[in-house]
Amino acid sequence: MWKLMYRILIADDEKSIRDGVARYLAKHCADFEVAGLAENGEEALKLAQSLLPDVIITDITMPRMNGLDFLENISCLLPDARLIVLSGYDRFEYARQALRIGVREYLLKPLDTTKLLAILEKFKKELDQSRRALGPLAGVDLKDSHRNPRLEQLYGKLLNGGNSETEPMIQEPASYCCVLCSGDVKEEIIREGLYRKFARLGEPVLIRMEAGIYAAVFRLPGERASEEFLKLNLGLTSLANYMRSEGLGELHFFIGGFVTSVKGLPISMYQARQAMEYGFIEDMPPAVNYEDSQAGRMAVCLYPPEEIQKELALAVNYGNETMARARVCDLCSWFDENGIRDAAFIRMCFLTAGHRIQSPGRDAVRISYLEAERFRRDVLTARSFLRLKEVFLDFIIFLIGRKRGEITEKQVISEKVDRILRENMANPEFSLDDVAGLLFISPNYLRQLFKQETGMTFVEYLTRARLEHAKFLLSSTDLKVSEAAELVGYKDPRYFSSCFKKMFHISPSDISANSTLS
């Protein structure tokens, strides 16, 4: 979707100034909207990462995080944002630091509104030019644009471990870099965006690697790697922000090192994958390079305090949910306080903590191999630290329920099945085999559990769930009978009506009519 206005974020600890500037801009500046207001640097940093403003106006002296620290943090995450300092201090040192960070304008209080409008008009022209350079990427036929099948085949073979006759094809000196792209943006949009952003730097070649993962190979003639590295990093950050701000999807880039031969590309890709696996994807900045990820891994290895893990085990054994929740929060806070970002290490610590709670003993909580495997899989696939915390807390609460005798394995299976059914109810072909595959258990075992717990076959359970949901839809919305039937997986409305009347002794059209009258 094409943005009609540019966004401004205002950060100042004085409410009168924040609100006053916002009101003035709303009245006199039609090309910009004030997207967010922050009263300190920490709040401004969070808002900037969420709102992706085009212009940031900030004070310097603010509580919790001052304006210069905020700008230094955000400048690498939003390299295209225009930065303005609005300060009551006319100090050379402040101005010098601001210029080093990349601040474009340094305004003094009281604010000269005429000067601010002139600055914003200048910024608008620059932003318009940048927007035209990328152009609209949505709603345009880009299927085969800027493809190079010959190089795609060459690079693809190298990156997938094959040998290739590369020397006759590429002889002049060059530097190469592999960048892994992860996200939900369409392949053709990624390819076109990379071309428009980096055509002058070295036309990239995009190769599909696996579901949701692409490799972009950059080739820079001569020995330009060192001078172009920063441009590549900032350009990829800018492109990812653009995709997100235009509603095209989330995209993260992971940059491997530069190599001096095309045959070294597998090394660059390995480094890019190391960067991708370092953190939780949803918590990482738009572009991460291998060197930065390795710097984090070279730090001294710390382990969570033994006391927290012991108290967590006690909380589970005594069935104390309040204490367990508090210790889980303590464990998560410990990683944050110590600046630990290595996702593989954090996952290992959570898995270890989970297994220690179940260590053999008289009071140990017994779980099945299936339940243990589910916990392991959920930990390893968590895409953010917050999601990992939720997974671990859910597992702890589950163990407490098992300890109290409130949760059995059958009940856990039933809850999982019910959730899966609701997510796939509109699929008329959905079957017990599909559910069993998603739960990683055999269809026969699932069929047996269902019969034991519900007294119904899976087909009977699915039919009842579909018809009850249809009844809810018809009684609470203005959907037609045929529309409700389709939403719960029935292709034939007449067959749906027959099944519905057999179960509820009333036709679906009567329920729909009563809902409309009421």
Q: Does residue 141 fall inside a structural domain?
A: no
Give the pLDDT band of residue 178 (cuts 50, 70, 90): very high
% pLDDT > 90, the chain: 27
Domain final residue, candidates 75, 107, 134: 134
pLDDT digits (tens, 9 = 90+) for 274-308: 999 888 988 888 999 888 888 777 777 888 999 99
Q: What pLDDT does 168 receive?
A: 46
- Between CA 113 and CA 117 the distance in angstroms is 6
Cα 509 off chain centre by: 43
- Same domain? 130 vs 190: no
Q: What pLDDT does 167 receive?
A: 46
Q: Does residue 12 fall inside a structural domain?
A: yes
Q: Does residue 347 fall inside a structural domain?
A: yes
Asked if residue 487 lies in contact with residue 479, where contact means CB atoms within 8 angstroms, the answer is: yes
Per the prediction, the chain carries an average pLDDT of: 83
Q: What pLDDT does 1 receive?
A: 39
Asked if residue 78 lies in contact with residue 8, where contact means CB atoms within 8 angstroms, the answer is: no
Domain final residue, candidates 104, 134, 164: 134
Give the pLDDT band of residue 197 (cuts 50, 70, 90): confident
CATH value at residue 100 = 3.40.50.2300
Q: Does residue 139 fall inside a structural domain?
A: no
Tell me the HSE value of 463 on the side-chain side, using a 13 A CA sphere.
Answer: 15
Is the pLDDT score of 139 beyond 60?
A: no
**Three-state secondary structure readout of 181-244:** EEECCCHHHHHHHHHHHHCCCCCCEEEEEECCEEEEEEEEECCCHHHHHHHHHHHHHHHHHHHH
Is the pLDDT score of 367 beyond 50?
A: yes
CATH value at residue 452 = 1.10.10.60
- Same domain? 153 vs 275: yes
Q: Does residue 315 fall inside a structural domain?
A: yes
- Between CA 428 and CA 423 the distance in angstroms is 12
- Same domain? 73 vs 175: no
Domain final residue, candidates 99, 134, 169: 134
Among 139-153, 171-185, 190-204, name the one with the lowest average pLDDT. 139-153
Is the pLDDT score of 326 beyond 90?
A: yes
Give the pLDDT band of residue 40 (cuts 50, 70, 90): very high
| Residue 283 structural domain | 149-296
Give the pLDDT band of residue 517 (cuts 50, 70, 90): very low
Q: What pLDDT does 329 receive?
A: 94
Higher per-residue pLDDT: 418 or 488: 488
- Same domain? 159 vs 287: yes
pLDDT digits (tens, 9 = 90+) for 67-90: 889 988 888 889 889 999 988 877
For 37-63, what is the mean pLDDT?
91
- Between CA 31 and CA 124 the distance in angstroms is 8
pLDDT digits (tens, 9 = 90+) for 236-278: 998 999 888 888 899 999 999 888 888 889 999 999 999 998 8
- Same domain? 292 vs 310: no
- Same domain? 155 vs 265: yes
Give the pLDDT band of residue 148 (cuts 50, 70, 90): confident
**Three-state secondary structure readout of 427-439:** CCCCCHHHHHHHH
pTM of the model: 0.67
Q: What pLDDT does 410 receive?
A: 52
- Same domain? 388 vs 441: no
- Same domain? 327 vs 348: yes
- Same domain? 260 vs 383: no
- Between CA 345 and CA 337 the distance in angstroms is 15
Q: Does residue 490 fall inside a structural domain?
A: yes
| Rounded-to-10 torsion of CA 267, 269, 271, 273 | -140
- Same domain? 153 vs 292: yes
The CA distances from residue 419 to 133, 165, 288, 431, 447, in Å, are 45, 52, 35, 14, 17
Q: What pLDDT does 516 receive?
A: 47
- Same domain? 312 vs 384: yes
Q: Does residue 258 fall inside a structural domain?
A: yes
Residue 233 dihedral angles phi and psi, to the nearest 5°: -60, -50
Cα 135 off chain centre by: 25
Please give the tally of structural domains in the chain: 4
- Same domain? 256 vs 157: yes
For 179-208, what is the mean pLDDT?
87
pLDDT digits (tens, 9 = 90+) for 88-114: 877 777 778 888 888 888 888 888 889
> Within 10 Å of residue 486's Cβ, how many Cβ atoms?
17
Q: Does residue 42 fall inside a structural domain?
A: yes
